[in-house]
Amino acid sequence: MKRATQWTVMLVAGCLAGGLVLMQFSPAGGEEASPAFWLATFVLALFAVQSIRRMAALDSGRVYGTLTAALFGVWVIFFWQLLVVAFDVPKVLLPPPSLILQSMSSHGPTLWGDFVQTVLKAVLIGWTLGSGMGFVVAVAIDRLPFLQRGLLPLASLTSTIPLVAVAPIAVMWFGFEWQSKAAVVVLMTFFPMLVSTLAGLKAAGRLERELMHSYAASYGRTLLALRLPAALPFIFGALKVNATLALIGAIVAEFFGSPTSGLGFRISTEASRMNMPLVWGAIVVAAVTGSLAYAVLVQLERRAAFWHPSVRES
Amino acid sequence: MVRCDLFLRGPMKNPEVLFPSDATSSAGARLAVEVRNASVVYETADSPVHALENIDLDIREGEFIALIGPSGCGKTTLMRVIADLEKISAGRVLVNGVTPHEARLARAYGYVFQAPALFPWRTVLGNVTLPLQIQGYSRAQSRTVALEHLARVGLTGFESKYPWQLSGGMQQRVSIARALSFEPRILMMDEPFGALDEITRDRLNEQLQQLWQRERRTVVFVTHSIAEAAYLATRIVVMSPRPGRIIKVIESPLPDERHLGMRDSAVFIEVAHALREALAEGHHD
Amino acid sequence: MTKVVVRGPIARWSQQGLPVLVILLAVLLVWYLGAWLLNAPGAIERVLPQDGAWRWQDLLAATMEMQRPVLPAPHQVLQDFWSALVDWPLDSPRNLLFHVAVTAESTLWGFVMGTLLGLVLSVCIVHSRTLDRALLPWIVASQTVPVLAIAPIVLVLLGSLGFAGVAPKAVIAMYLCFFPVTVAMVQGLRSPQRIETEMLHTYAATRWQALWLLRLPAALPFLFPALRVGIAAGLVGAMVAELPTGAQAGLGARLLTGSYYGNTVQIWSALVMSALLGLTLTTAVAGIERLVLRHRSQA
């Protein structure tokens, strides 16, 4: 097996090196590319595919699995850069990655301001408030099965309707600033958290509940010692889903109207101005934010719900 | 003003309740459990199910009682009624001279379920200290007591492990240590070794026997297994289903001090034979 | 601790239907209360006689019938909703159903394309180790990314390539449906246990047979929840896609124009309509699920 690994690593390294060399020869600024260049590109593409296949075929576990996906990503970006420049694709259609990075760095302060406006204010506050309220209401109606039976069907219903559509109304009530976007996020995150927490509170096993009953433990004691810890996997599941919902909600709510800053605002206005590199830049910021937030939540879940089979297996 | 300590700890032990003055039978020993004409009936969509019918049973302190019978004979129901996990429809049950409800509030018994029912987010030590924390023991005190009881079931060194890191047999031993940690007068065990393989089962039977010999707690033990009932119990109650009732109560002639080798002795085989006959009798009714 | 309850139809209704009804009535009550409270300042300023010659009954009546309310009363929304449906011919932009048709068309096209693409790709991923290792992690990771944010780019791109009308909106709905369907199908296609796949192996079944006889049927219970999520996401995508192109037609456009002109009641009608559309689409998918899975026992 070690032989195969060695060959694969060499193949990958060779391909990447070949790619870098080819990049030097790529035509720039509208000149025609020679047939030799196209041939070399085609051959490199074949080798790139092979390198991915060899990498995927390696038997080892997670490290090589992640590397395969990373390698795939690297090749996609490489060929994007190469082909867009070689074909001289108009920048309004598809800018090359280099231009996107350039735009991001030159508009750094703008993008930072957008990030603060959207993520740190609307998303974070909305997500915290919405999830928090969902949790509190769920615990409050834990002993009121009538209300649960009434609210649960309605809460599941809200997942089928486009809640972002309340954005214009939120703007009307809370103004153009981040508060209206946060309001939309609160609405979107409240119901999933409510449903998941209620489900989690029911998750404690019958035997465990009877055990606490045999100890004559009070309702509060049982809640703190048994039912809330047992509910943690469900609660974290909802928090993760809510993180994505919050980001989408805030950005889309900004599509419906935002004064001067915000990631959604940046995307929609720069798109209408055909300033594509900056649009892509804002999207990259949003994408990285989403992935990082999710990764952080996964780590927190590992700490808090370390005992759950689903967390242990991963 | 809300009493936050009551919210968290629940009612405190009432020493009076544990030593009532009039719970003695004619034999002179104190009665741990008194069941008089107890019945449990479930209403279902088709017709009522008589889980228990007119049960009369006295359990003296220090006895090891085994409840044995086929599925549906009510042995688990009877134990759950004594443990205040279910209500009787008719008749009377007294535990240490008071109702099961009061006995439960006074923490009079420890219950071991069919599955270990350990909390996976707590270590082994954390699980054993759970009832102690609920009853208001201090941190240091619960730790000491828990460690001692873990030692008694032979699990010293495993305090920081999590339940999923232990085998099934070890998890049940933790469950037993937990049930005994607050020194209850009565220990109730609902087929605790049913899910284990025979070899582990034998070992645990032996350990339970030795534990009982040392402490002479009242034990009520539900089982399917004739050999287990004969080996462990001082008195065996044979039950049969539809409706759940007691067919026969057999006093075990085996001495109190037992070891696994006794299972090949003539006395043991006689007891097992008597049990088998009683069970068959109930089956044919 | 054991309870056995006899259930008849009336008992079942009072168990399940009554609580929902009570909650709905409570929501309605709070809505009316909110309308009164929120519209009061505006009513006092603009509608009622300026010299203070009004009683609280006049205030109440005024807040319930305002032209530009902060919160329209439920009956106002209902009135506007109804009139938008029946007062105009079906092909007029003033009729809500016209906009429903526009949005629904994009949503459904996108949904169908996205589902087909997801199905094909998931089958490929399950059968190819390369795709599984290289592509699947990206698809899974993309669920944490606000993919909807790419919508303006897609619109500009397709617009400059000459595509207009339904196509770009359907494309956006398509890739919103595609992600949940792919992930769920991969999970579903891999759900059969070792015992089952090995049994087929002993029958010398080809991979296609194993796919058709075992994996696809096993994947269906995973597919349908994802379809419900997908169609809801596709609807949001279609509505968002209507915004940048001058907001001409569709429910999303209607929401935007309502907010530009301050026509609150129109916004609320469009909101109610989009909620109904989402509900209908999801219920339709759930209905198909019931039909397809009707012979399976509930686990």
Q: Residue B44 and residue C2: Cβ atoms within 8 Å?
A: no
Q: How confident is the model at residue C246 (pLDDT cuts 50, 70, 90)?
A: low
State the count of interchain CB pairs (< 8 A) between A and B.
68
What is the per-residue pLDDT for B29?
Answer: 61
Closest partner residue to C1 among B43, B44, B85, by Cβ?
B85
Residues of A with CB under 8 A from a CB of B: 205, 207-208, 210-218, 220-221, 224-226, 229, 232, 305-309, 312
Contact C270 A165 (CB under 8 A): yes
Q: Is residue B140 part of a domain?
A: no
Contacts C2 to B, Cβ<8 Å: 42, 86
Say whether both C102 and C136 belong to one domain: yes
Q: Are residues C138 and C211 in the same domain?
A: yes
Average pLDDT over residues C87-106: 85
Output the CA–CA distances (angstroms, integers) from residue B79 to A288, A289, B52, B226, in the order listed. Answer: 58, 57, 11, 18
B43 contacts in C (CB within 8 Å)? 4, 6
Residue C83 forms part of a structural domain: no
CA C79 vs. chain centroid, Å, equals 24
Buried b (16+ CB within 10 A) or exposed e, B66-95: bbbbeebbbbbbbbbbbbbbbebbebebbb
Predicted local distance difference test score (pLDDT) of residue B263: 87
Q: Please report the pLDDT score of residue A314 as a whole number.
A: 61
Task: Find the closest chain C residue to B86 by CA distance.
Answer: C1
Q: Which of B54, B42, B83 is nearest to B190 (CA)?
A: B83
Per-residue model confidence (pLDDT) at position B12: 44
Residue C104 sits in the same domain as residue C209? yes
pLDDT band for position A240 (cuts 50, 70, 90): very high
Minimal CA separation from A234 to chain B, in Å: 15
Residue among B7, B83, B117 whose CB faces A218 most closely: B7
Task: Find residues 93-152 of chain B whose CB sits inside 8 Å of chain A.
Answer: 104-105, 107, 109-111, 113-115, 117, 119-121, 130-131, 133-135
Nearest chain A residue to C21 by CA distance is A150
Can you read off the two tokens belonging to residue C17? 């239907």
Residues of B in contact with A306 (CB under 8 A): 121
Mark yes or no for CB contact C130/A57 under 8 Å.
yes
Name chain C's partners: 3 or more CB pairs within 8 A: A, B
If one counts the domains in chain B, the total is 1
pLDDT (0 to 100) of residue B49: 86
- Which chains lie within 8 Å of chain B at 3 or more CB pairs, if any? A, C
The reply to whether residue C240 touches residue A161, judged by beta carbons under 8 angstroms, is no
CB-based contact, C6 to chain B, within 8 Å: yes
Q: How far is B121 from chain A (nearest CA, A)?
A: 5
pLDDT at B27: 46
pLDDT in tens, C40-55: 888 877 777 777 777 7
DSSP three-state, residue B189: strand
Domain annotation covers residue B233 = yes
If asked whether residues C62 and C121 sit together in one domain, one would say: no
CB A36 within 8 A of CB A56: no
Within a domain: B202: yes
- My answer on whether C53 and C150 are in the same domain is no
The structure tokens listed for C179 are 């992600």
Interatomic CA distance for residues C145 and C135, integer angstroms: 16
Across the interface, which of B85, B115, B119 has its CB nearest the CB of A214? B85
How far is C266 from C244, CA to CA, in rounded Å?
19
Half-sphere exposure of A74 (CA within 13 A, CB side): 17
C225 → chain A, closest CA residue: A160
- Cα-to-chain-centroid distance, residue A102: 23
Q: Closest-CA residue in chain B for C3?
A: B42
What tens digit of pLDDT does each residue of C269-297 get?
A: 889 999 999 999 999 999 999 998 887 76
* Residue B243, preceding peptide bond in cis (omega within 30° of 0): yes
Are the beta carbons of A168 and C259 separated by less than 8 Å?
yes
Q: Are B117 and B138 in contact (CB under 8 A)?
A: no
With contacts defined as CB-CB under 8 Å, which chain C residues touch B104? none
Which of the listed residues C23, C38, C71 is the one where a domain comes to its end?
A: C71
Q: Nearest chain C residue to A144 by CA: give it.
A: C19
The count of CB pairs under 8 A between chains B and C is 12
Tell me if chain A has a CB within 8 Å of the CB of C235. Answer: yes
A147 interaction partners in chain C (CB closer than 8 Å): 19, 23
Partner residue facing A257 (CB), from C236, C259, C274: C259
Alpha-carbon radius of gyration of chain B: 19
Q: A312 to chain B: nearest residue by CA?
A: B164
**List of chain C residues whose C-beta atoms are within 8 Å of the C-beta of residue B85:** 1
* Chain B residues whose beta carbon lies within 8 Å of the beta carbon of residue C1: 80, 85-86
Asked if C152 lies within 8 A of A271 by C-beta distance, the reply is yes
Contact A92, C156 (CB under 8 A): yes
* Structural domain of B71: 62-86+98-108+184-284
Mutate one of B40, B43, B84, B88 to test the C interface: name it (highest C CB count within 10 A).
B43
For chain A, list the domains and their CATH numbers.
2-89 (no CATH), 105-313 (1.10.3720.10)
Contact C2 B42 (CB under 8 A): yes
B157 touches A: beta carbon within 8 Å = no
Same domain, C67 and C161: no
CATH number of the domain to which B274 belongs: 3.40.50.300
- pLDDT of residue C1 exceeding 70, the answer is no
Q: Which domain holds residue C53?
A: 9-71
Which residue among B8, B85, B131 places its CB closest to the CB of A220? B8
Same domain flag for C155 and C29: no
Residues C197 and C288 in one domain: yes
> Which residues from chain C sit within 8 angstroms of residue B100, using beta carbons?
none
Residue (of A250, A4, A309) closest to A119 by Cα position? A250
pLDDT digits (tens, 9 = 90+) for A115-166: 888 888 899 999 999 999 999 999 999 999 889 988 988 888 888 888 888 9
**pLDDT value of residue A1:** 56
Q: Are residues C67 and C113 in the same domain?
A: no
Phi and psi at A177, nearest 5°, equal -75, -170
Q: Decide if C283 is inside a domain.
A: yes
Question: Given a cut of 70, is residue C156 above it in pLDDT?
Answer: yes
Q: Which of A221, A232, A306 comes nearest B8 by C-beta?
A: A221
Contact at CB, C240 and A255, closer than 8 angstroms = yes
0.95 exceeded by pTM = no
**H-helix or E-strand containing B104?**
helix B100-105
Query: Is residue C212 domain-shared with residue C102, that is, in the same domain?
Result: yes
Beta carbons of A226 and B104 less than 8 Å apart: no
pLDDT digits (tens, 9 = 90+) for A169-213: 888 888 888 889 999 999 999 999 999 999 999 999 999 999 999
The confidence score (pLDDT) of residue C247 equals: 61
> b/e per residue, C249-280, with b = 16+ CB within 10 A?
bbbbbbbbbbbeeebbbbbbbbbbbbbebbee
**A-C C-beta contacts closer than 8 Å:** 172
Least confident of B9-13, C113-117, C186-190: B9-13
Residues C129 and C263 in one domain: yes
Segment of A62-71, A80-89, A121-130, C38-47 carrying the highest mean pLDDT: A121-130
Q: Are residues C66 and C104 in the same domain?
A: no
Q: Looking at the domain assignment, is residue B201 inside a domain?
A: yes
**What pLDDT was estimated at residue B130?**
92
Mean pLDDT by 10 residues, chain B (285 residues): 42 40 49 90 85 91 93 89 91 91 89 91 94 91 94 92 93 93 91 90 90 90 93 93 87 86 89 91 71
Residues of B in contact with C4 (CB under 8 A): 42-45
In whole angstroms, how far apart are CA A229 and each of B161, B162, C220?
Answer: 18, 15, 33
Q: What is the CATH number of the domain that holds C129?
A: 1.10.3720.10
Q: How sure is the predictor about C245, in pLDDT bands with cuts at 50, 70 and 90?
A: low
Domains: count for chain C = 2
In Å, how far is A207's CA from the nearest CA of chain C? Answer: 12
Beta carbons of A52 and C155 less than 8 Å apart: no
